[in-house]
Chains A and B, each alone.
Chain A
């Protein structure tokens, strides 16, 4: 069937089987490989993308259901070639990953959280990422990355302190 998807700000007319998941559609039809298949039954969260800014599991959504919403993938939050968003940079600063497989989903979940709540507590960060399973890190450096990103992003729009 023909569908129209809005992904990372661009419109795409696609021909897909009705049963195609949004995850498979993004990966196989649009070559957006940053969303990863982990469990394909909605538990691990490795396939997370943003749907109208909300973190959603793309393995549990059919591509045709995604018509009329704005989809953002990890490729859509990356500022440009060789450039990192403040959240991506914070993940690098704390080493909030190891194998990198769950990482794009974690970064997107962090984007969704910080868009809503620029100053999350540790508990709020833990709650926000609790739907994303990471088997490498034990989460500590991920929580720190999001906290660091929040702090830096809050500071970014504040005038610098006058010199003493």
Chain B
């Protein structure tokens, strides 16, 4: 990392993207009007599972403005199934159901009309004859056999893999204490306010499919091309579309294949903007629904030696990358703790629910919940303070770099100091007294703690861990910088963004290296045909990866400028000193070449350039993830993400004993993500993550009834936290730089979300403890809490 004081990095600068958003001039996909565009509305299956016996399109096709009705048969004959992460050829995933629909809300047909309203009208006129089939909703039932979701697969299990890292049996046998706990993460998601949308247009003469989409998806163009059976170089994805929130879910492959096919088939631009119902029932809307059985072995001092974890994931009806969400947590399976050995069984089953997709943290939030609930119960069993138990188990600052049993080495951390800093302002004993005072007033009150890691950098070697056929060890991002003939700097990034401030990131890092005002660095987003490789904003990776690429590209540019100046000054290169865009002779500082001089030489005076130098000023850097490049060992160990941010949540919560309504009385967070390139962005991410965490813990659930119908399919039923539900949070920053990154930065895109649900669950359970009851299934809804409290009080009387 850089040892010099930063000029622009870590200073409280504005976020350049904000100017266009406050005036409503973002360019979201729904804002893109191509001439002669036709609109799609979708026909969805009303049953949890059904055979599609016939589709009668005649009435719909006769309606005004209607051009076409596409069914799953035609689409399946013309396209290939979507790419999946696991090798499960008998579980094909397609945009429209083929013969059998496997969840309520699955897309069965697409209507194309002049307007969206006409398409919706016609969708209602399509007559489909369904034969309802047996279905399964519960993951344990699906695992045990259940009705088969995909008959040809022969089972509902897509993944069942057990890893043993270290001497688990021995450590369990040697430990005097054991405890087991069942914890459930409810089916929730990040639910952006913008649904997924895509506009496609096919040019048959150039053979190019133009795609404008609200995506956050690695290898998007590749996957579209593969499914449509056209070269990926015939897919031109426009990365300058602003994405109205994603937090992982905006994958949109099936939407794009559908719209792309229709654009080619019909010869006019096609637009599919999901409405909220299409999004909630059949879009890429749902996140993990995971059941944990955790067993830990520990001693009388609360030192946890070993852990057995069984994680059962309810994928819904199909799978893309979602089973891998069981894999990423392996890279921090022991959290911030010194647990010596781990047995981990990862099971993923299909059920007749909406297909699950990637969500913020990629499975880490649920795993953190399980770990942190267990740590609290260890303390509870021993009669120790939960904070003290954590302090005893946490990895100490001097132990980094720290190798965990599953093969990842944590980069850096100072967990005890972060906790001490939080407690320096919030006296823990005083907080406990406040809790006890609330209890004395007749309220239920509890303190919730969570100490969690945020793996960052996006080295997705969990793919190879769960599917040995995958040998990907490369996870890159890129930046190109050009200085034009007038001396203006333009940098490029090669993906879409959904609010992370990547243009600000690139400008800040390049400004830092070149010692120029970041606001003078234009940041552009070329389309996919003009782009360098990008792994896209997943895995909390962009500060590390795009920041790293921009840093190295700027260093290359600086080196080239310095070499040109040294040559022109006739001095040895080591005497040339770069200074805010100009270069001078260390031994004779009056001898200087200005930025304008250097631009003039590079662009117009090749006779003054060093021999063999390319003319112009254009550099690029493709940056591989730090610590990347290795594949798993045969016993299932691998280095995953390079950097590990830490967050420590401390909550005081009260629950109205009559209504069951929880109220967050105090919320304090210690956060360490290394160097903060832009503190405003980091704070926003963290607060937003906490809001998501509050939603997942207390309110949000894609709930199903016994008939397999999604009953939370609007914002009236799927409850998003408003400004009333998100309390003020005091954030205490600490900075432990990562040794692996260019500026010491770590990731923060998932901060808050990865610990808030655990802290809230612990707070609720602390509040309920005097009643002798506990609850370990999220979301901890008011109705559930109210019933639980009422039952406990009735029993107690």
Bound together, the chains give a CA A62 to CA B464 distance in angstroms of 53
For A78, give the chain B residue with the smallest CB separation.
B23
Q: A22 on the interface (CB 8 Å rule)? A: no
When chains A and B are docked, how far (Å) is the Cα of A99 from the Cα of B244? 5
A residues 23-38 touching B (CB-CB < 8 Å):
27, 32-38
Given contacts A131-B722, A133-B193, A138-B726, contact A36 B691 (CB under 8 A): no
Query: Is the CB of B500 closer than 8 A to any CB of chain A?
Result: yes
- How far is B24's CA from A43's CA once the two chains are assembled, in angstroms? 20
The A127-146 residues at the B interface (CB cut-off 8 A) are 127, 129-143
The smallest beta-carbon distance between A131 and chain B, in angstroms, is 7
User: Which B residues are CB-close (under 8 A) to A92?
Assistant: 14-15, 18-19, 22
Q: Which of A84-106 contact B (CB under 8 A)?
A: 84, 88-89, 91-95, 97-104
A143 to nearest B CB, angstroms?
Answer: 7
Of B23, B191, B244, which one neighbours A101 at CB under 8 angstroms? B244
A107 at the B interface (CB under 8 A)? yes
A99 touches B680 (CB 8 A): no
Tell me, rounded to whole Å, the shortest Cβ–Cβ distance linking B118 to chain A. Answer: 10
Q: Majority SS of interface residues in chain B? A: loop
Contact of A138 among B28, B499, B691 (CB under 8 A): B691
B13 → A minimal CB distance (Å): 10
Q: Pick the residue among B25, B117, B247, B724 that contacts A135 (CB under 8 A).
A: B247
Within the complex, the shortest CB–CB distance from B433 to chain A, in Å, comes to 26
Chain B residue with minimal CB distance to A74?
A: B24
Please tell me if the beta carbons of B243 and A99 are within 8 angstroms of each other in the complex: yes
Chain B residue with the shortest CB-CB distance to A104: B24
Q: Does A93 contact B715, Cβ atoms closer than 8 Å?
A: no
Chain A residue contacts of B14, Cβ below 8 A: 92-93, 95
Contact present for A36 and B690 (CB under 8 Å): no
Identify the closest chain A residue to B681 (Cβ). Answer: A95
Any chain A CB within 8 A of the CB of B716?
A: yes
The reply on B707 being an interface residue by CB < 8 A is no
Max chain B C-beta neighbours (<10 A), residue from A32, A102, A136 = A136
Indicate whether A15 reaches chain B with its CB closer than 8 angstroms. Answer: no
Q: From the candidates A32, A37, A97, A139, name the one contacting B691 in the complex (CB within 8 A).
A: A139
**A136-B684 contact given A101-B192, A101-B193, A103-B21, CB 8 Å threshold:** yes
Q: Assess A97 versus B22: contact at CB under 8 Å? Given A39-B276, A102-B193, A133-B193.
A: yes
Also in contact, A135 and B680, with CB within 8 A (given A92-B14, A99-B499): no
Contact partner of B19 (CB less than 8 A), chosen from A19, A84, A130, A135, is A84
How far, in angstroms, from A126 to B26 measured CA to CA in the complex? 25
Chain B residues whose CB sits within 8 angstroms of the CB of A140 once the complex forms: 683, 687, 726, 728-729
The closest CB in chain A to the CB of B23 belongs to A78
Q: What residues on B are CB-neighbors of A58 within 8 Å?
A: none
What sequence of 0s and 1s flags, for each residue 130-164 of chain A, a beta carbon within 8 Å of any chain B beta carbon? 11111111111111000000000000000000000
* Contact between chains at B31 and A33 (CB < 8 Å): yes
* Distance in Å: Cβ of A93 to nearest Cβ of chain B: 7
- Docked-complex contact B687 and A138, CB < 8 angstroms: yes
Residue A67 lies at the interface, judged by CB distance under 8 Å to chain B: no
Known: A98-B500, A135-B192, A135-B247. A36 touches B30 (CB 8 A): yes
Please, how many angstroms separate the alpha-carbon atoms of A129 and B722 in the complex? 8
Please report the C-alpha to C-alpha distance between residue A41 and residue B498 in the assembled complex, in whole angstroms. Answer: 23
On whether the beta carbons of A37 and B499 are closer than 8 Å, the reply is: no
Q: Are A41 and B21 touching (Cβ within 8 A)?
A: no
Most buried by A among B18, B23, B716, B726: B23
Contacting residue for A139 out of B26, B500, B715, B723, CB 8 A: B723
> Across the two chains, which residue of chain A brings its CB closest to B752?
A138
Query: In angstroms, how far is the closest chain B Cβ from the Cβ of A63?
Result: 13
Are A84 and B691 in touch, CB under 8 angstroms? no
Q: How far is the CB of B791 from chain A (nearest CB, A)?
A: 32
Chain B: residues with CB nearer than 8 A to chain A?
Answer: 14-15, 17-26, 28, 30-31, 117, 190-194, 242-247, 273, 275-276, 498-501, 680-681, 683-692, 714-716, 720, 722-724, 726, 728-729, 752
User: When A and B form their complex, which 10 residue pairs have the shortest distance between CB atoms, in order from nearest?
Assistant: A34-B24, A100-B21, A98-B499, A101-B244, A99-B499, A138-B687, A138-B691, A43-B715, A74-B24, A95-B680
10 residue pairs A–B, Cβ–Cβ below 8 Å: A36-B194, A36-B244, A37-B30, A43-B716, A44-B715, A74-B24, A92-B15, A92-B18, A99-B498, A141-B687
